[in-house]
Structures are given as structure tokens and as C-alpha cells.
Structure 1
Amino acid sequence: MFTLASWKHLRIPFSFYLMPVFFFALALTPNHNPERLLLIFMGLHLFLYPASNGYNSYFDKDEKSIGGLRNPPKVNKGLYYLALLFTLISVMLGAMVNWQVGSMLLVYSLISMAYSHPSIRLKKYAVASWIVAGFFQGCFTFCMAYAGLSDFGWDVFAKSHVFIPGILTSLMLWGSYPLTQIYQHEEDSKRGDQTLSLKLGIKGTFTFAALWFLVAGSAFSWYFLDKGQEQALFVFLGSLSPVILYFLVWFTFATKSVERYVNYDWAMWMNRISGICLNAFFIWYFLENTQIMQVFY
């Protein structure tokens, strides 16, 4: 039942690009515990995100490139059941921390299903899908990871020292999200999905992303300065410089030739560079913020 094609659609390696949210939460959590760390990491990156990818792929039935798959194989019913199995496992892993964390994973899963299921399909609504995807992959996931890592519950969403950095992660995702759709206009149009990138157009998508990157960068700068962490600010800005440089080069080339430069390869390299740089920064921030680095000084 669970064919190789179904496993490919889970796109487990693609979870790498969402790991910065986890590492940011890890850097700020006050109660580190190896068992909880493993449970939450596995629940999110090995099961929850792949389940979401697989469920989305099953209903999209893409014929052209999607994130993490240049040539997606045809989907079958096995993919649907595999996605549900992975969802169940992720919720069970969260429940091993506490029932509230398990319920958070369940809520994320249901929202993810609503995003692609034909009876609701948030994906066909440009602004709604942008807001929901950015909030749940960013702020909600940050608060969920923080709660799981610290053995807390839903009350973390009411704590400003958790919710504010969570919103910062959403600001970054609200900027990058339309860029993940920029090469899929033809496929989305055929399905009737009015994505934000499709509404904005190619140039509009780049401009929109640039404005949100500026907002996100300013917000993170305020956050680090407010905490008296000037070094973190400089390291953060330095880690983003390759991302910004690539983005500007891509934007420049795209204005000259859409057909040549607005495609899967350029979009995936944007993901790779930003994923590597942001993961590196937040791992460093975790080591620095928890004073683990002091051992090596």
C-alpha cells in the first residue's frame, strides 16, 4: 500500500527549511530536557511536516515541480493513509510530553488538512492562505515547540515572551511564502487556486517579499536590541547577507527573463541558502543564549 511514490511525497528532507523555528524556540526555552527535545523534534520534523506535505500532495495531484520534488510521481490512495498515519504518530509523540502539546499538534494537522482538502481548501483564497500558513508554520509552531520543550500547555500563547518571538518567525514566513509559489502559477491556475503570488504577479511577488523581509529584519533588530543582545543582532544580519544577496540577484535576473529565471531551481536555491543560513544562526543563538558556548571559552 505504501509505495515508494507515496514516501517521496512526504518530502521529509524538506522539513529542514522549517527547522529555524524549532531552534529559535529551543534557544529561549527555560527547561531543557533531552527526552522532550527528541520527542518534539521527531514529532514536528519527521512526522507532522511530512504528513502535511503528503496530505497536500494527495489532493493537489501536481504534475509539475513542487517544493522538494522536481518530478513528483503520481499519487495514490496509499499516500492519503500514510499521511494520516504520520499525523497520528506526531500527535502521539506530542502527547508523550503532555496532552496539551498533543492537542496542539492535532490542531496544526487539522488546519493543514483544511488548507488543501477540497471541501474547504484554504489554498484557493490568496490572503487567507497566506495569513494561515505564515501564522501556523511560524508563531503557532514556535509556541507549540516552546510548550513541548518546556512541558507547558496552551497558556504559552498568552505569554508575551513566547508569543512575540513567535510572531517574528511568522513575519519571516509571510515574506518568503509567496516566493515558494512563484514558479507554480500555471499549475495553480488550472486548479483554481488563487494564490497570493498569482494575484501579485512575478514582479509584485518579489516586491512584496522584499517589503516583508525589511519588516521582519527590523522587528528582529528591535527584539535583539531590546534584550541587550547586540552581538546576536550583528550575527543575525551577517547570516542573512547571503540570503539577501541571492534574492537581489534573482530579482534582477527575473525582471530580464521570467521564463529562464522564475523556475523550480532558482526557488529551491533560495530555500537552501535561507535554510542553511537561518539554521546556522539559530543553532549558534541557542548555544550562545544558553551559555553552552562558555564551556569552550
Structure 2
Amino acid sequence: MAAYRSALKLLRIPFSLFLMPVFWFGISALRGPLDWPRVLGAFAVLHLLVYPASNGYNSYYDRDEGSIGGLKAPPKVTPELLRLVYLFDALGLAGALLLGWRFAALVLGYALVSKAYSYEGIRLKKYPLWSTAVVVVFQGAYTFLLAQVGAGAGAGPGALFEKTNLLLSLVSSLFLCGSYPLTQIYQHQEDARRGDRTLSLRLGVRGTFVFAALGLLAGAATLALAYWLRGELRALLIFAVATGPVLALFGRWVWLAWPDPTHANHTWTMRMNLVSSVCLSAAFLATLLWGR
């Protein structure tokens, strides 16, 4: 049991909650009444089962010796970790099936792609452009639409494939495009040791900050356009107010790390992840609740 308790840490369940903003963004974009039991069920399937399984599988093949997302000092990888991964995958698919076969099929697609990202026989993570494209699409627009299907949308093409809904799904990918390299910025030595030429490693510390700023700016501009087309300017105001702390923290981080790259470390990355996750989730939840 001690080995399983140690392996459970590598599933990094609390870290999975950093992915909440995309889920709540997708739900907040739905129009009409919500089936809250379905919404909460979909949330639990993704954040408590599917994402932790993906985290654990990534840790199994990475075998990190230094800090990783959510863990300052990760335990050693053991065979028990892979067993837990498969258990969480099975439970996630079973839970998804309770919400419908379409949701389950999309969850299965996400799980398979996340494994291709890390699996040593494929390991998309080795390729900076491919890995970035996979994360940007599957943790962005794909998850945005996945959340909506889990909530019960998709009976007809109107909800999912309405043009402004697709534009908002694009926003989630643009935000991921900006934030994803920041999650790699403190792992340059680990990634280089394994031969993983990540996008952040290729860009360098300063290049990562510039790339992130451009991606996030593009996402914010597209979000403003989508909310304007939908006549939801109040939602845009909520977003602008809620992301103020994120912009302040990002500016402070760049100010410190630009002349001194040692500030591009695990502590600052996790701080940025936490603040942005909380603020964005709060913005989309406020949009969701206030709008209804």
C-alpha cells in the first residue's frame, strides 16, 4: 500500500484543477438551461479521473528527477503507477459512458492522444511543433467542446458548431498556445537530458515570455471579438477585471526573469499557474452564474 500511496502522488490530482478554466469557459458559452448534475459529473470525470491518469502516464515515461507540475520533489516511479493510471482511465471511461457514448468517445480520444504525447514509442513531446499543436488543440478547443458535450450539448449542430461558439473554442486554444510554453520554462535541463526538444527549450527563457505574451494577446483579442458578436459585453468586462491580477503577476515575473533567468523556476511557474487558473475560473463561473 505504501507503494500505491507514493504512486498516487504522481497522478497530481490537485494539479489537474489547473485545467479548470477551459471546462468552465466551455460551459459558460452554452445558452439555455443547464443540467447541473451532468455538468458536475463531466467535471468529475475529467478533473478527478482522466486528467490525473494523463499526468501519471506522463510521469511514468518521463521519470523526472527534478520538480514537475504540482510536485516540488516527485517520488520515484514504480510499476504501481501504471496500474493506477489504467484504473483511473477505466473509471473515467465508465463515468463518461454514464453521460453518453458521444462524451465517452471524446474522452477516449483525449486519453489516447495524451498517451501518444508521452509514450516512448511515439513520444510527441520530443517534437516542439507537434507537441505544441497537440496540447493547443486537445487541451484547448477539443476540451472546450468536450465539456459542452458532457454537459448535454450536441443534440443538434446549433449549439456546438454555431460560429461564435467555435470562435470561443479557438480562444481556448490561443490561450493554451500562450500559456503552454510557460509550463516548460523551468524544465530546460530535464528536457535536454531526455532529448525532448520542447518549444520553450527552443525559444529560450526570453523567447518563451515573448511567445506567451503574443499568444495570450491574440486570445484576448479574439475573445473580445467573440463576446462582441454575441452581444455579451458584460462577460468581457468580467474577464477584464478578473485577469488583472494575472497580468500584474506575469509582468512582475518577466521583469525579474528577463535579466536573471534563475527566476524562470518551478516556484514562479506554479504561482503563475495557480493565479491564472483561479482568476480565469472565477471569471467564467461569474459569467455563467450572472448570465443566468
Which residue does 1:286 correspond to in 2?
288
- Decide whether the 8 Å contact of 2:164 with 2:229 is kept in 1: no
Which residue does 1:248 correspond to in 2?
251
Deviates more, 1:238-247 or 1:47-56: 238-247
Cα displacement (A) at 1:158: 4.3
Aligned mates of 1:144, 1:154 — CA distance in 2: 15
Whether 2:173 is the aligned partner of 1:163: answer: no
SS in 2 for 1:64: coil
Cα displacement (A) at 1:231: 2.0
Deviates more, 1:145-154 or 1:62-71: 145-154
Aligned mates of 1:66, 1:118 — CA distance in 2: 19
- Decide whether the 8 Å contact of 2:181 with 2:208 is kept in 1: yes
Aligned mates of 2:164, 2:21 — CA distance in 1: 18
Whether 2:234 is the aligned partner of 1:231: answer: yes
Q: 5+ residue gaps in structure 1?
A: 292-297
Which residue does 2:78 correspond to in 1?
76
Which of 64, 79, 90 pairs up with 2:66?
Answer: 64
Whether 2:15 is the aligned partner of 1:14: answer: yes
Aligned mates of 1:97, 1:208 — CA distance in 2: 38
**Aligned residues with identical type, % of pairs:** 42
Deviations 1:139-176 (A, max 9, x none): 11111110110153796764434332111111101100
Deviates more, 1:1-10 or 1:36-45: 1-10
Aligned mates of 1:19, 1:270 — CA distance in 2: 14
Which residue does 1:23 correspond to in 2?
24
- Decide whether the 8 Å contact of 2:12 with 2:71 is kept in 1: yes
Aligned mates of 1:43, 1:82 — CA distance in 2: 15
- Decide whether the 8 Å contact of 1:44 with 1:90 is kept in 2: yes
Structure 1 letter corresponding to 2:101 = W
Which residue does 1:36 correspond to in 2?
38
Q: 5+ residue gaps in structure 2?
A: none
Structure-2 change in CA distance of 1:244 and 1:151 (3 Å): closer
Which residue does 2:56 correspond to in 1?
54
Deviations 1:54-102 (A, max 9, x none): 0000000000000000000001111011111111111111111111110
Structure 2 letter corresponding to 1:96 = L
- Decide whether the 8 Å contact of 2:6 with 2:75 is kept in 1: yes
Which residue does 1:180 correspond to in 2?
183
- Decide whether the 8 Å contact of 1:188 with 1:195 is kept in 2: yes
TM-score by length of 1: 0.93
- Decide whether the 8 Å contact of 1:31 with 1:149 is kept in 2: no
Aligned length: 289
Cα displacement (A) at 1:228: 1.7
Aligned mates of 2:176, 2:64 — CA distance in 1: 23
Structure-2 change in CA distance of 1:74 and 1:154 (3 Å): farther
TM-score by length of 2: 0.95
Which residue does 1:294 correspond to in 2?
none
Aligned mates of 2:39, 2:18 — CA distance in 1: 18
Which of 75, 94, 97 pairs up with 2:96?
Answer: 94
Aligned mates of 1:191, 1:171 — CA distance in 2: 28
Which residue does 1:211 correspond to in 2?
214
